[in-house]
Amino acid sequence: MKNIAIILASGKGERAGFNLPKQFVKIFGKTILEYSIEIFENHELIDEIIIVSNGEYIDLTNEIVHKNGYKKVKSVISGGLTRKDSSFMGISEIEYDDAKVLIHDAARPFASAKTVTDCLNILDTYDAATVAINSSDTLVEVAKNEIVKIPERKSFMRVQTPQAFKLKTILKAHIMTLAEKMPDITDDCGLIKYFDLCKIAIVKGDETNIKITYPIDIEIAEKILQNKKCS
C-alpha cells in the first residue's frame, strides 16, 4: 500500500497578518513550506506528496518545488475556501484505490520523522489517527466570558498534524459531508468523529511541532531551529 502525504498550504494566514501567506515566509532563508515538504521528502516510508496550494500562489509553489528538485511531489493543486475543502481536494487527487494518507498543515514545519513513522504504523491497527500532545494549561469551558466547567486536565489533549487515515475511510467521511449541513469542523478527524465512522487513535507528538499562527510563532520557530542545529 502506498504512503501519501497531503500538505495543506492553501490558507491565507490572516491571523499572522504578513504580506503573503505564512507558509511562504522564510526562516533562516527557507520558506516554512519547504521545511514542511522536506519532512516527507526526506522520509523513507513516504512514496508521494500532494501539495494543496492557494490558487494565487500556485506558480510560487511550483517554483519552490522545481528549485529544490523534490522528487516525491506528485502534484501541486489549487485548494478551496476552507481547510476542509482543501483537504478533500487533496484526497481526491490520489489515484490509488487504497493508501495510507497523512494530512499535514503546511504551517507545521517541524513534525519529526518519528512522528511520521508512528502515524504510518498506527494505521496497521486503526483506520484513523491524529498526533496530539498533553495540555500544560488547564482548559475551561466558557460561555459569555464566564467559566461554565473546569474539566480534568488529563482527559484533554491538544491536536496537531499529521492526521493519518486509510484513504477509504477519510474519503467516505468527506463524501458524507456533501449531503449534510455541517457545523464548523476544523480538521479531518473531526469529520470522522462527527459521523462516528471508526475509532481514532492518538499518536503522541511533541511540543516542537508548533503551528505557525501568529507572528510570535516565527520567533519560536527560529529558536527551535537553532536548538536543532546544536543537537
Q: Which residues bind ligand CTP (CB under 6 A)?
A: 8-16, 21, 23, 52, 79-83, 86, 105-107, 211, 213
Say which entry of ligand CTP, Mg ion, none residue 2 contacts (CB below 5 to 8 A, set by partner kind): none
Backbone angles phi, psi at 67, to 5 degrees: -55, -40
Residue 11 CB, nearest distance to Mg ion (Å)? Answer: 5
Residue 103 CB, nearest distance to Mg ion (Å)? Answer: 14
Residue nearest to Mg ion (CB): 11
CA-to-CA distance for 197 and 139, rounded, in angstroms?
27
Residue 147 burial (CB count, 10 A) = 9
Looking at beta carbons only, is 1 or 210 nearer to ligand CTP?
A: 210
- Of the candidates 202, 195, 62, 34, the one whose C-alpha atom is nearest the C-alpha of residue 118 is 202
Residue 104 CB, nearest distance to Mg ion (Å)? Answer: 15
CA angle 48/51/57 to nearest 5° reads 155
Looking at beta carbons only, is 11 or 109 nearer to Mg ion?
A: 11
On whether the CB atoms of residues 21 and 13 are closer than 8 A, the answer is yes
The count of residues in the chain is: 231
Residue 17 CB, nearest distance to ligand CTP (Å)? Answer: 8
Beta bridge mates, 149: 141
Looking at beta carbons only, is 59 or 98 nearer to ligand CTP?
A: 59
CA-to-CA distance for 78 and 55, rounded, in angstroms?
5
Say which entry of ligand CTP, Mg ion, none residue 106 contacts (CB below 5 to 8 A, set by partner kind): ligand CTP
Instruction: Give residues 11-30 in contact with Mg ion (rule: CB under 5 A).
Output: 11
DSSP 8-state code for residue 107: T
Give CA separation, 221 vs 25, 26, 194, in Å: 12, 11, 33
Looking at beta carbons only, is 11 or 162 nearer to Mg ion?
A: 11
Residue nearest to ligand CTP (CB): 11
DSSP 8-state code for residue 23: G
Looking at beta carbons only, is 172 or 211 nearer to Mg ion?
A: 211
Looking at beta carbons only, is 11 or 21 nearer to Mg ion?
A: 11
Q: What residue ranges bind Mg ion (CB under 5 A)?
A: 11
